[in-house]
Amino acid sequence: MNYKEKRNLRLQQLGDFVENKIDKQMVERDLLAPELPDDPEDKKWYRVIIPKGISGDGSGYHIYVKIADPKKLCIFFSGGGVAYNEYTAARPITGGKVAADLPNYYFNNVRPLTQIINIDIGIMNLKDADNPFRDWSIIDIPYATGDFHVGNNEFPYEGEDKEQHVLHFHGYQNFLEAMEISGKLFANPEKILIAGNSAGAFAVPALTDDILSKWYPDADDVTLLSDSALLLYSKWEHIARNVWKAPESICDPIKTDNITLCWYRNLFAKYGDKLRYLYSSSTRDYVLSAYYNNFINKTYKTDADVQDTFYEQLKEMVHELKELTPGFGMFINNWVVPIVTKGGTVHTAVREPYFTRFSQGDVTMARWLSDAVNGNVYDVGMDLLLD
């Protein structure tokens, strides 16, 4: 074992130790969201166990709910990477892999650590007085299957341990079960926000029709937000159809390498301007550019060249969405977090501290999104796409 391998091993062991320590302390200190009781408190996060749900690694699955104003409902799709072949399936996200900067592609369960990224941050933050969504009812659908929340397959793969495993691409079934809970808890909202970040942002256009046609057919005040959903790949249709085995209604609209745009086109063809459409992205997303680099060059790293490529793709994406409907609201930022963003810009903002703290042109994302759900849709940061 050479020096680099020894160093990576030490970092991986340290990362796994820290993650396990956090998991243990969250349990011992009773920091996990409690299960939903018969008489829940308002504005408090609860877990709802989904008996028929299953995470990617075969473990159990739950969602989070916050019961507040019954007239205002946010359905939120969480993100957390993507798996699309045996290689990526064998490399889920762990503290050790992150610490050692080793390939890690997707969350495959809802362990205690993942609660930190699901609730009480960004749009979910109950303590932030600047968060205009504190009084909204929210159902958060955690991401634990690597399939943009649309899969329905048992996928065999060989793990790094050389043993045979199965990745349960059951995102679609988890979604259906979650929405059954939503329909019971939040029967008649007057205002609905369907939002998602990262992998969850792709799910927004893919699953909105299901949400509206099956659970909220009478909804007439609906806003959609995809936060960071640009990842071009020529094999998306094959992945959706043959790897994830998503429903035909989700696979059929995929005609190009831009899966998000395909799903929005399909959705707009049915609903037109009855819905409000929003899209947000940073200019040189350090995470999505790394995934794109992995698709194209088999290298799971970001650098200036691939970030520049992402920037050019973003300009085209925004143009295409505006062609779909000029009313498609945009929030474009160039926010940087030193070291973390690796020379690029942030990945997602709606469920990050940036949501209420960072501004683009003197407008926070929180203000922009609040204005939009109340009927005032406008663009922020479009000047960043002019060079």
Q: Say if residues 135 and 112 touch (Cβ distance below 8 Å).
A: no
> What confidence tier does 334 reach under pLDDT thresholds 50, 70, 90?
very high
Q: What are the tens digits of pLDDT across the range 275-288?
A: 999 999 999 999 99
- 259, HSE (Cβ side, Cα atoms, 13 Å): 27
Measured from the Cβ of residue 130, the count of other Cβ atoms closer than 10 Å reads: 12
What pLDDT was estimated at residue 141? 98
What pLDDT was estimated at residue 124? 96
The residues, ordered by sequence, that sit 6+ positions from 151 with a Cβ below 8 Å of its Cβ are: 145, 169, 170, 171, 172, 243, 244, 245, 246
Closest CA to 259 of 271, 273, 246: 246
Mean of the pLDDT values across residues 141-155? Answer: 98
Q: What percentage of the chain exceeds 70 in pLDDT? A: 99
What pLDDT was estimated at residue 317? 98
What pLDDT was estimated at residue 323? 98
What pLDDT was estimated at residue 1? 66
* SS3 labels along the chain: CCHHHHHHHHHHHHHHHHHHHHHHHHHHCCCCCCECCCCCCCCCEEEEECCCCCCCCCCCCEEEEECCEEEEEEEEECCCECCCCHHHHCCCCCHHHHHCCCCCCECCCCCHHHHHHHCCCHHHCCCCCCCCCCCEEEEEECCCCCCCCCCCEEEEEECCCCCEEEEEECHHHHHHHHHHHHHHHCCCCCEEEEEEECHHHHHHHHHHHHHHHHHCCCCCCEEEEEECCCCCCCCHHHHHHHHCCCCHHHHCCCCCCCHHHHHHHHHHHHHHHHCEEEEEEECCEHHHHHHHHHHHHCCCCCCHHHHHHHHHHHHHHHHHHHHHCCCCEEEEECCCCCCCCCCCECCCCCCCCHHHHCEECCEEHHHHHHHHHCCCCCCECHHHHCC
Q: What are the tens digits of pLDDT across the range 44-86?
A: 999 999 999 999 999 999 999 999 999 999 999 999 999 999 9
- Which of 16-25, 57-66, 182-191 is predicted least confidently? 16-25
- Output the six-digit token pair for 123: 């749009």
Mean of the pLDDT values across residues 114-141? Answer: 95
Closest CA to 193 of 235, 223, 169, 217: 223
Residue 4 has pLDDT above 90, yes or no: no
Mean of the pLDDT values across residues 346-365? Answer: 97
What pLDDT was estimated at residue 127? 93
Query: How far is the C-alpha of 133 from the C-alpha of 119, rounded, in Å?
Result: 13
Measured from the Cβ of residue 161, the count of other Cβ atoms closer than 10 Å reads: 8
* End-to-end CA separation in angstroms for the chain: 47
Phi-psi region of 114 (alpha: psi -120 to 50; beta: other; left: phi over 0): alpha
The CATH class that applies to domain 3-385 reads: alpha beta
Query: How far is the C-alpha of 278 from the C-alpha of 321, rounded, in Å?
Result: 10
Give the global pTM. 0.96
Q: Say if residues 113 and 19 touch (Cβ distance below 8 Å).
A: yes
What pLDDT was estimated at residue 164? 97
Task: Kindly list the domain boundaries of the chain, sorted by start residue.
Answer: 3-385
Residue 158 has pLDDT above 90, yes or no: yes
Burial of 20 (0-12, 13-18, 19+ CB in 10 A): middle
Mean of the pLDDT values across residues 96-120? Answer: 89
Largest CA distance in the chain: 63
Residue 8 has pLDDT above 80, yes or no: no
45-72 as b/e, with b when 16 or more CB fall inside 10 Å?
Answer: bbbbebeebbbbbeeebbbbbbbbbeeb
Q: Say if residues 314 and 283 touch (Cβ distance below 8 Å).
A: yes
> What confidence tier does 40 reach under pLDDT thresholds 50, 70, 90?
very high
